[in-house]
Amino acid sequence: MDTSQYMSMFLEESMENLQTLNESLLELEQRPEDIDKLNEIFRVAHTIKGMAATMGFSQMAELTHKMEDVLSKFREGKLKVTEKVVTVLFRCLDTLEKMVNNISEGISEELSIEGIINDLHSMADGNETPEITPKENEIINDNDQITNSAIDLNEYDVNVVKQAKEKMFNAFEIKILISENTLLKAARAFLIFKSLEDYGEIIKSIPSAEDLENENFDFEINLIYITSKDKAEVIDILLNISEVEKVMVENVLVKNNEELATDKLGDFKAIENSRAPQIETVKNETSNEKNGLDKKEVAVHKKAHQSVRVELDRLDKFMNMVSELVIHRTRLEQISSNHKLTDLNETLEQVARATSELQELVMKIRMLPLEVVFNRFPRMIRDLSKELDKEMELVIQGQETEIDRTVIDEIGEPLLHLLRNAADHGVESRSERISKGKSPVGIIKLVAYAEGTKAIIKVIDDGAGLNVERIKAKANKVGINTEGMTDADIKNLIFAQGFSTNEKVTDISGRGVGMDVVKTKIAALGGTVDAISEIDKGTSFIIRLPLTLQIIQALLVKIGDETMAISLGYIDRVIDYKEELIKKTNNKEVIVYNESVIPLVRVNEKMEIETSDNTKKYIVIVKVGEKTVGLLVDTLLGQQEIVIKPLGKTLHGLKEYIGATILGDGLVTLILDVAALV
């Protein structure tokens, strides 16, 4: 079987499933009694195993299978969820992740898994904690017991059914007969499981899932199934699967001990005989639907797949085409105004509206919630907490904030560095925190929210804070002149290349390569990062990122004879330039505006562009992070929607520009990188 066409789907789904397992295991460690979470973990692990086996990755399937053995011991109550067990399971997930990465990069080397498998074996054999063997069908308390059924239910299953009943779910025992002419019984069983799991939870199956996979069964499957659907709907779901001959569905009942448990599921033969005619008619109805007599039900089933996976480069192409449309639209508007073609105005307005909606739509399609980046950090903080022997807790807020996919791909590494730094440098040891009168548990917060055209991400810790004197001393040592710098400027020196105040280099930090990576990456995304800190209160790193990187609103300005664009996202206000506004301090020009002192940047001098002194000039006040600066420009040309085009290899080294755009008159205009200027 050629599996290459399924490879990208396999890789993507495996990474998603491994991430789900990471999160669920963390939650299970906090709440060992959570049966729903345990079920979810079991189901996801089973999916990974099935997919790996189908794609022919036997080592991956074997490791997941051993993991399932340990998980099933949890379910049966023979093994307790302890930190040691969870740590081994995490090692297991890390190895599986390495395997998936190797597959995606085409590396064929096999990873050594004997150590982990031995650990899993010894746990599955019960060496980790004393075994607690539940008696089969044991009564949970004096009042409740479950009726006998064709499937033996242990204490765990009884518990699950009881919980389901309390939450107003239905518990059914299902018997399914597959046609004897079925060639791929395992595939049919997989379809049955998949269809049912879309609407509920299968808690037990006879034969077992493994026997079903290996086709070690005749044509009969018995299941215990929990769902919010009623009996008729479950029958309908199953009979819509081809090669399913007969379906029998009965309630699993929880009885009080005082009453006799007479309402048993009874003899399946009797049910089969009594239900057979009814089932046949249902079957006939479904075949009629296929002939187009009653389309209503079919429509319901077709609604299941309402999302579609799209490759990113297709979306990029789509975005580029929309960008081209925006350029041609502004070109048409320019021609129309030059030639005073009023007849065109209405049509152009319609085109403008349509392209704006199209552009908004493609932006939304490219947007992803920050959750896909954030969800890997709780596990990392747990591991660091153990490694550094510090107590800390990660609080995440606003992970539903959406941001452009390209930003999502790049933002993970800077956040990783900031969080590791907070854990290593920020949060103090337990004894140190107690001596300062703080809670022994350090809190690290990861907060995100949208603000106008920007996404704000904050990494906040309640640790020791940044020591200005230590940073100053280190700066002077490496030859950075700190004279005339404010405390805020000195704190931001930690982003300089190779700068670290840590005397001791550890695995976690201290080489000074983390913070400059953070700054460089975020600047490359058109964003800014600032450090705000107070001794013994903690440190906040504030990252500001553009929500999207392709089409922006900009102010067009003239500097000399050159037209340039400044993103509106940075602009606070524009004021008239007057000579008397300008003062000098520390040999630098500043303006006093609204009782605050704002540094002035003469853009023409920065860019070495000639300009005449007799034109009326303007000061564009821009805010970059915590800094406010005035940019001196010659003329304002108005606001326009522009498409950011990359500069290409030749001009790639120009740090003052983030890209170029094509204006309505066909003129190529450079877009100023305000953050770099400031």
Q: Catalytic residue positions?
A: 46, 68, 421
One-letter-per-residue 3-state SS of 33-48: CCHHHHHHHHHHHHHH
Helix, strand, coil % over all residues of the chain, rounded to 5: 45, 25, 30
DSSP string, 585-610: ETTEEEEEETTEEEEEEEHHHHTT--
- Whole-number Å distance between alpha carbons of 308 and 311: 10
Buried b / exposed e over 153-185, threshold 16 CB at 10 Å, is bbbbbbbbbbebbeeebbbbbbbbbbeeebeeb
Amino acid residing at 342: T
Residue 611 contacts residue 603 (beta carbons within 8 Å): no
Is 563:557 a contact under the CB 8 Å cutoff?
Answer: yes
Tell me if 417 sits within 8 A of 518, measured CB to CB: yes
Give the C-alpha separation, 33 to 40, whole Å. 13
d(CA 476, CA 455): 35
User: Other C-beta atoms within 10 Å of 519: how many?
Assistant: 19
- The CA distance from 442 to 463, in Å, is 7
Closest Cα partner for 396 from 370, 433, 430? 370
Distances (CA, A) of 614 to 297, 579, 580, 611, 634: 77, 12, 16, 9, 10
Q: Which one, of 303, 182, 174, lies nearest residue 242 by Cα? A: 182
Q: How many residues does the chain have?
A: 678
* CA distances, 168 to each of 171, 227, 228, 229 (Å): 10, 9, 8, 11
Residue 666: burial class (beta carbons within 10 Å; 0-12, 13-18, 19+)? exposed
d(CA 445, CA 442): 10
The sign of the dihedral angle between the CA atoms of 97, 103, 104, 109 is: positive
From the list 309, 306, 307, 325, the residue with the least C-alpha distance to 317 is 325
Q: How many Cα atoms occupy the beta-carbon half-sphere of 178 within 13 Å?
A: 22
Read out DSSP for 7-33?
HHHHHHHHHHHHHHHHHHHHHHHH-TT
Residue 314: both structure tokens together: 């297709």
Cα 175 → chain centroid: 39
Closest CA to 425 of 514, 335, 365: 514
Among left, alpha and beta (phi > 0; psi -120 to 50; other), residue 538 is left
Contact 600, 630 (CB under 8 A): yes
Which residue type does 554 have? A
The closest of 246, 256, 234, 241 to 172, measured between CA atoms, is: 234
Specify whether the backbone of 137 is left (phi greater than 0), alpha (psi in -120 to 50) or beta. Answer: left
d(CA 32, CA 25): 10
- For residue 367, the one-letter residue type is M
Please state, as a whole number, how many other Cβ atoms lie within 10 Å of the Cβ of residue 560. 18
- Rounded to the nearest 10°, the torsion over CA 191, 192, 195, 200 is -140
